[in-house]
Chain A
Amino acid sequence: MRLDILIILVLVLLTGSWLAWQTRQPEMPVERLSVLSLMAGGDGDFRRVTEPVPLSFPEAHAKHPEYQNEWWYFTGNLDTEDGERLGFQYTLFRFGTRPAERLDSAWAADTTWMAHLALSDGRQQQFFQSERFARGALGLAGADETRWWLRDWEVIRDDQTWHLEADAGDFALELAMTPKRPIVLQGDQGYSRKGPEPGNASRYYSVTRLDTRGQIRIGEQTLAVTGLSWLDREWGSNQLSEEQAGWDWFALHLDDGRDLMLARLRNLDGSTSEWSYGQLVQPDGSARYLENEEFSMEVLRWWTDRNGARWPLDWRIEVPLAGLSLVTRATFDDQHWQGSVDYWEGMIEVIDFDSDQPAGRGYLELSGYGEG
């Protein structure tokens, strides 16, 4: 081929490629809001939990804006009429911020609210999740003694029953939850220490056993359900110390009528923090605080998520003073919450270690393993 034709061809190819390159659609990175950024809105001078203070009800059910963080946390194990297993989680989070300026607008807010709604479908081993945010303005979200809400997701307390209604589009929950036991104050009268610094603590109370019934919609299918739920209420500021990486939290409904909560706080090196704690609730409602030394736990199995993060899903738990030697197993692996917070929250089976027989059900929360 002659040189001139070659040069023209090269020029044509170059021009053509340049034009083709011009027509490309730019890639847009898809990113999400991060909870950390919501809490970074100003350091603020929030109150810290430093000592036991008697809690009074129902006032304590409402928000505590003088503290930085707060949550209203329902988890539960449910059965359909056909005996199929379902699990759910509904959490309302409050993050206080201290705005740099007072803004003259109804949208000005010193609070960001976040709600997490999740459904574990044991039949298909499917995990549904939905996350939404609202600013604490214009009545878009809030919590008082009888109502906790974020837009149209809400929990209303009438008398002794909490009614949860939340529709996430592809799934929806409508549940009535009635306490079977009195409120349990965690730690020392609700003062739950989590670290060595003064203020590494929270106010913490639970309703460990709520009789639950209602209906759940998955896609077009609506299922009537019954089961047991657990409510955790906690608030504070700077709860974890800087040495702590996260926690492994168990809420177990044992078949013998006892409820067991264990919170293993983890140090940055992965070891168990001396500030770990637990609570054992008897069928009559009496509760006993468990010190770190009074229980032990050991990971039996790790699961690796799509991002490569490893999560300890199966455990061996010993609480000698209660005569408990248990194994817990995730009902299925992928109950991994991927939103602005990266955590694992899902239903688990409880098995008696010695007899290898089912001994109850529960919920497990693992934090500090993933990206967020």
Chain B
Amino acid sequence: MRLLLQSSRRFFYRHPGQLILALVGIAAGVAVVTGVALMREVLIDALDSATESLSGAESIRIVDPRGPMDETLFIELAMTRGAPPLLPVLSSRLRHGNRMLELLALDPLSLEQGGPVRLTGSATGPLFGQANAALVSQRTLERLDLEVGATLSVRHFGEQLDLEIVNVVAGGRELDDRIIMDLAAAQHLTGRQGELSFIEAPVDARAWLAERLPEELRLIDADQRRESAASLTAGMRANLTAMSLLSLAVGLFVIYSVLAFLLVQRRRTIGMMRAVGVTEGQVRGLLASETLILAGLGALAGLALGTLMASGLLELVRQPVAELYRMVASAGVQPTPLLYVSVWILAVVMALASVFGVLREAQRIPPGQLARTVHEERSGASPIWRWLPVFLLVAGLGLILVTRSLPPVLVGLFIMLSGCALLAPVLGMHLLRMTAALTRSSLVGRAIKMLLSSRQRLAPAVSALSLALALSAGVGMMVLGFRATVDDWVARLINADTYLTVSQGQLDSSSMETLQDWPEVEMLSGSRQVRMDDGSMVVGYDLNPRAWEGFEWLDGDGLAARDRVESGQAVLVTEPMARRDGLSAGDTLELVTPSGTVEFEVAAVYRDYSTDRGMIAMIGSRFRELWNDDQRDSIGLYLGPGVDHEALEQRVSETFPAGHLTTRESVREQTLGVFDRTFRISWALAILVGMIAAIALISALLALGLERAREYATLRALGLSRAGLAGVVLTQTTSLAAIAVLLAVPFSLLIHATLSLAVQPRAFGWSLALSFPLQPLAVLIPLALLIGALAGAYPAWKIAHRDPAPLLRAS
């Protein structure tokens, strides 16, 4: 065995390029998996690691599911005999440029003295009595590129606040992008007097608290909070995981193609080994050991690369997570040994499994096959093998069509992709044969015929290439198609001319009345949202006839049911809500409101992409009655013809000193801005998969060019010029790239359709109108051809300048 291993070592010495490509291929796949896995953990931990670090890891939290709680509750509890240490916290989201920050305002004097209090005395001192004093961790200070004493400008509900960083607080990644302030100062500054977001208490105080808490308040522990964060981000994380596994699959194709090719190159050596008594098992063992070492080393490098990459990937998802789920995640990842070991084992096992076919082939090499004859391609594979790709495609598609939950759809997608992978070489060879038939005796025809003679060796390369290209393009098309759908939806829904919001004070019914009397205003609409316990929203709408037209009905017709909605008997639900709760028009739903549980009829289901947690819309008057809340988050102004916007703005600022007008166009831009930020991670992963595809392409093409050295030598000896020979090599590599990319086109459409029509609805609850944006293909096709030509250039040059004699002598 030792001898055998030495022989493979010598082989890799002579072909370092192969070795490097195999390592890079597997490393790139593992890197993406590692990066995404690390990022997933951060998303689950995001919700409350910061307060945990301040109040102790084992803490429970008192929350009011209806929203902020009254601070007098804290006083009542804290003054009760035997009260546990309680920490009152007011949390709020702040925006600094494009970055979301979390304001954690607390009473430092209430921090448990015996516990892991991580606010230093000198740090908290300056907090007291200064309205804008704030603390940040050293990491956050560096991330914001600030120094102690500097001013940090943030926006809080549209209003600018200038905070002074008075000191640094000790803390790790859980305090990333957290701003710590004193409760009094924060209430003063944000105008949230009397409010607390939650109260933290030690976990052993559960019984004491449960006995004394008012009924409407809840106690939730760290596990429940993690679960809630996990379910909030479930769709997003499932998407990321699927993408990362696809990347790994492509990486495995690379290692498979390299190993398969290595076997081909070493048939002679192996034949000799078998002749001198090396058993089948030993040959198999040799190849398995090679795979183990290559995959093991590659995976190790992948873990390191993935760790380096994770922070970058995380930065791409942090902002959408903050915008969509109101969670400020840590900016750093925290790898665990378990995660590293699991990913490493997964990669190595999958690599071994992927080369199973190669092992079987190696086993079949007869002893004494010394002659490097052109390997006889096996033909006439059994019908089972021939029909397997079709079977996989059908099975995958069937699974996708019949299931309603996400994991089986992802499994179905994988099965379908495996079918594509197997189908690719078959179709590819057909295409080549057709091209060869068309070009007949020309040099191109000859070059392609040479390719066809080694179709089995090319199969893995064609699979890997076409699949990777298809994935990149498919994901790109899905994102672009989705964007177009969202754009249409926004354009339809946002149909007021301009929207009024206020940064301070209130908009309420009297504001509506005031505006209604303005001559430039034709109609008004208003909305008020509240967040429910499960993250879903309830919105109260004041709708005018044009606003009603903004809805796109997916089930039932809300316009027809308008009377029942306006009378407050019926509600409208968004598609994600309907899908999650299995609701359709005509059903009834129960809603827990501050005025008790109320039953509503579902009048219709409408298209909505604003939250994947679902939304229930009801008429404003009913909402105000049930929630006892007369405020509006925004008022839509429908203007008459020829209204002078500047004059209107002037009038608004006089009537509503803290008011802002936002035009329809900028609402659309903001919505698409959020969308683009949300899908930056998908683009990043698509590009990573594309890069792995490029590695696979280069690896396959280089191998192809180098492997056929002897045949090229023959051509050269027969009188083919150097330029002619180079042309043959270039033709071969470019046409291989061309078939890969051609095959990638239908595959990418399939992937795009599956992601848009099956994965998105199941992950987020919304359906997408299928469109076929072809830009990703328009980029990838020329790129693949270019890489094909470039990857052929080196072997072409090398072969053309090689003396054919020694190579011919070998036979």
Contact = CB atoms under 8 A, between A and B. Distances in A.
Q: Do A and B bind each other?
A: yes
Interface of A: 4, 8, 12, 15-16, 18-20, 22-23, 25-26, 28-38, 40-42, 97-101, 103-110, 112, 130-135, 137-140, 151-152, 165, 167, 339-340
B240 interface: no
Interface centre among B107, B118, B297 (most CB of A within 10 A): B107
A19 B173 CA distance: 18
A105 B172 contact: no
B304 A33 contact: no
Interface residues of B, number: 57
Contacts of A106: 71, 184, 187, 193-194
Given A18-B304, A138-B71, A31 B119 contact: yes
A38 B119 CA distance: 13
B82 A103 contact: no
B187 to A, nearest CB: 4
B801 interface: no
B333 to A, nearest CB: 8
A193 to B, nearest CB: 30
Contact of A12 (B113, B117, B188, B297): B297
Interface string B59-77: 0000000000001000100
A119 B126 CA distance: 33
A101 B131 contact: yes
Contacts of A131: 113
A146 to B, nearest CB: 17
B392 interface: no
A25 B172 CA distance: 9
A139 B79 contact: yes
Q: Most chain-B CB neighbours within 10 Å: which of A98, A135, A340?
A: A135
B111 A107 contact: no
Nearest to A131: B113
Contacts of A167: 81-82
A99 B182 CA distance: 13
A198 to B, nearest CB: 28
Interface stretch (B334-342, B518-526, B619-627): B334-342
B184 A31 contact: no
A36 to B, nearest CB: 7
Contacts of B184: 103, 105-109, 135, 137
B183 A36 contact: no
A69 to B, nearest CB: 16
Interface in B209-224: none
Contacts of A340: 113, 121
A339 B121 CA distance: 11
Given A28-B53, A30-B118, A33-B113, A19 B188 contact: no
Contacts of A42: 129
Contacts of B108: 33
B117 A97 contact: no
Nearest to A33: B121
B647 interface: no
Closest 4 CB pairs of A and B: A99-B129, A34-B121, A37-B125, A107-B184
Contacts of B107: 107, 135
Nearest to A103: B188
A133 B113 contact: yes
A129 to B, nearest CB: 10
Contacts of A8: 297
B561 interface: no
B452 to A, nearest CB: 38
A137 B46 CA distance: 33
Given A15-B304, A38-B125, A101-B129, A151 B117 contact: no
B128 interface: yes
Contacts of B187: 103-107
Contacts of A99: 128-130
B306 to A, nearest CB: 10
Contacts of B130: 99-101
Contact of A29 (B79, B118, B297): B118
Contacts of B188: 103-105, 108
Contacts of B82: 152, 167
A23 B335 contact: yes
Interface string B113-136: 110111111101110111100000
Contact of B185 (A23, A97, A103): A103
B83 interface: yes
B128 A97 contact: yes
Nearest to A151: B78
A110 B128 CA distance: 9
A226 B203 CA distance: 36
A23 B113 contact: no
A315 B53 CA distance: 45
Contacts of A19: 300, 303-304, 307, 335, 340
Interface string B169-191: 01111000000001111111000
A40 B301 CA distance: 53
A134 B109 contact: yes
B80 interface: yes
A10 to B, nearest CB: 13
Contacts of B301: 15
Nearest to B108: A33
B133 to A, nearest CB: 9
B131 A29 contact: no
Nearest to B125: A37
A4 B184 CA distance: 65
Contacts of B78: 140, 151-152
Nearest to B170: A29
B129 A100 contact: yes
Contacts of B185: 103, 105
B457 to A, nearest CB: 28
Contacts of A112: 109, 128
A272 B53 CA distance: 46
Contacts of B193: 104-106
A103 B335 contact: no
Contacts of B300: 12, 15-16, 19
B33 to A, nearest CB: 15
Contact of A41 (B71, B125, B172, B297): B125
A117 B63 CA distance: 31
Nearest to A107: B184
A207 B674 CA distance: 69
Given A19-B304, A105-B185, 4 more contacts: A20-B337, A103-B188, A108-B188, A133-B113
Nearest to B310: A22
Contacts of B113: 32-33, 130-133, 339-340
A23 B83 contact: no
Nearest to B122: A37
B313 to A, nearest CB: 15
Contact of A23 (B79, B183, B297, B336): B336
A165 B75 CA distance: 19
A86 B337 CA distance: 51
Nearest to A340: B121
A151 B84 CA distance: 11
A254 to B, nearest CB: 36
Contact of A37 (B81, B124, B297): B124
A67 to B, nearest CB: 18
B171 A31 contact: no
Contacts of B110: 133-134
Nearest to A29: B170
A130 B71 CA distance: 26
22 contacts: A16-B300, A19-B335, A20-B337, A22-B307, A30-B118, A32-B117, A33-B109, A33-B117, A37-B121, A37-B122, A38-B128, A40-B125, A97-B128, A101-B130, A103-B187, A104-B187, A104-B193, A107-B71, A108-B184, A135-B184, A140-B79, A167-B82
Contacts of B81: 152, 165, 167
A100 B71 CA distance: 24
A152 B80 contact: yes
A60 to B, nearest CB: 26
A28 to B, nearest CB: 6
B289 to A, nearest CB: 14
